[in-house]
Amino acid sequence: RTDGNAKPCVFSMQMDASWKSSREEMGFGWSLHRREGTQIMHGSSAEAPMNSILEAEAIALL
């Protein structure tokens, strides 16, 4: 059964990556927010080796 007055649950995710070429390392962070802006969860990680910032950004999206 569907309630005609129910609003869909909408989330937004923000993420960013960084890359240090001299060490071939990348780091990234992300945060998940509800529609009204309340943060639900967040996280970060680091990976190596990475060959470029483009590779780092692509890995962060996964």
- The answer on pLDDT for 7 being more than 90 is no
Residue-number span of the structural domain to which 54 is assigned: 11-61
**Any idea of the CA torsion for 49, 54, 59, 60, to the nearest 10 degrees?**
110
How many domains does one find in the chain? 1
4 in a structural domain: no
Any domain includes 40: yes
Tell me: the pLDDT tens digits for 11-34? 999 998 888 888 889 999 999 999
37 domain-assigned: yes
Percent of the chain with pLDDT over 70: 92
Instruction: Say which DSSP state 9 is in.
Output: P
- pTM as predicted: 0.68
Asked whether residue 1 is assigned to any structural domain, the reply reads no
Statement: residue 56 has pLDDT above 90: no
Residue 52 in any domain: the answer is: yes
